[in-house]
């Protein structure tokens, strides 16, 4: 079993779409970034890559590469999951938290979970998404940006099976 942690943050800016967990959220500002700036998908990607010791999202999809300009972060997440699959890792679970003073995230969480589960090819009950404000504190609390944290557990397909068998005998 391996544990990974991911974190991402982007500045809010007028004239950009706000995409979180692959959901286009109607809001006066969006996240600034080279790709679609989906902090939730980015944090999850980094957690998965970290758990597998495969670097980080910036190393695989650099913001200096024009190929990733305005890229769909769910597509990048699916590529990360394919990398894990190639290394024989399976996702146990993903737990993520969005930090944003506004807009209210709760109405979108169900759709985010479905999008993320589909991108990772996992069951819906393997992914949790939560949201919190920071009570007006810090850059997220003042509405300057949105951040996301994610943790995950992955297992080697072979090692996971051996560990399961040893616990059941």
* Residue list for the binding site: 8-10, 34-35, 42, 56-58, 61-65, 132-135, 139
Q: Is 126 left (phi over 0), alpha (psi -120 to 50) or beta?
A: alpha
Residues in binding site for a divalent metal cation = 8, 10, 42
The string of DSSP letters for 14-75 reads: ETS-EEETTEEE--SEEE-SSS---HHHHHHHHHHHHHTT---HHHHS-TT-GGGTT--HHH
């Amino acid at each position: 079993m391996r544990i990974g942690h991911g974190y991402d943050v982007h500045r809010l800016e007028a004239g950009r779409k706000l995409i979180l967990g692959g959901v286009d959220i109607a809001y006066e500002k969006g996240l600034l970034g080279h790709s679609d700036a989906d902090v939730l998908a980015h944090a999850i990607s980094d957690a998965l890559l970290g758990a597998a010791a495969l670097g980080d999202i910036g190393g695989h999809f650099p913001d200096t590469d024009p190929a990733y300009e305005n890229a769909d972060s769910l597509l990048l997440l699916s590529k990360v999951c394919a990398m894990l699959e190639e290394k024989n890792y399976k996702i146990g679970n993903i737990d993520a938290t969005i930090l944003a003073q506004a807009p209210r995230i709760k109405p979108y969480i169900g759709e985010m979970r479905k999008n993320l589960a589909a991108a990772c090819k996992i069951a819906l009950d393997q992914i949790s998404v939560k949201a919190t404000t920071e009570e007006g504190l810090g850059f997220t609390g003042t509405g300057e940006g949105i951040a996301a944290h994610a943790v995950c557990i992955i297992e080697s397909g072979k090692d996971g099976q051996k560990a399961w068998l040893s616990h059941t005998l």
